[in-house]
Amino acid sequence: MDMPNLSRASARPLRALVLSGGMALGAVEAGAYAALEEAGEPAPDIVVGASAGAVNAAIIAGNPPGALCRSLRRWNSTDGC
């Protein structure tokens, strides 16, 4: 896949987040990403995933940083809250 705009976006290397499938693992991924965000880590440039990881990737890509953790926790909660 050719992404010329992303490769020239800055002098720093691109940051990618790759998430795997599995509902239980999806909850772990959500918590890990929330911890990175809360620690002030920069957002990834590219987010991809498979199965539950794809849902997490869509939530990460489609929400502003302030609302992201709440959305991920809501999606990955066992009680549907």
Q: What is the DSSP letter of 77?
A: -
pTM recorded for the entire structure: 0.67
Rounded Cα distance, 38 and 73, in Å:
14
Judge contact between 31 and 38, C-beta under 8 A. Answer: no
**Three-state SS at 60:** helix
pLDDT for 9 equals: 53
Given the structure tokens 């998430």, which residue do they identify? 19
Extract the runs of DSSP E, i.e. beta strands, from 1-81: 16-19, 46-49
**2 contact partners, CB below 8 Å, separation of at least 6:** none
The pLDDT of residue 26? 75
pLDDT at 10: 62
pLDDT value at position 81?
43
The pLDDT value given to residue 67 = 73
Q: How far apart are CA 26 and CA 52, in angstroms?
A: 5
pLDDT beneath 50, residues of the chain: 1, 80-81
pLDDT recorded at residue 37: 84
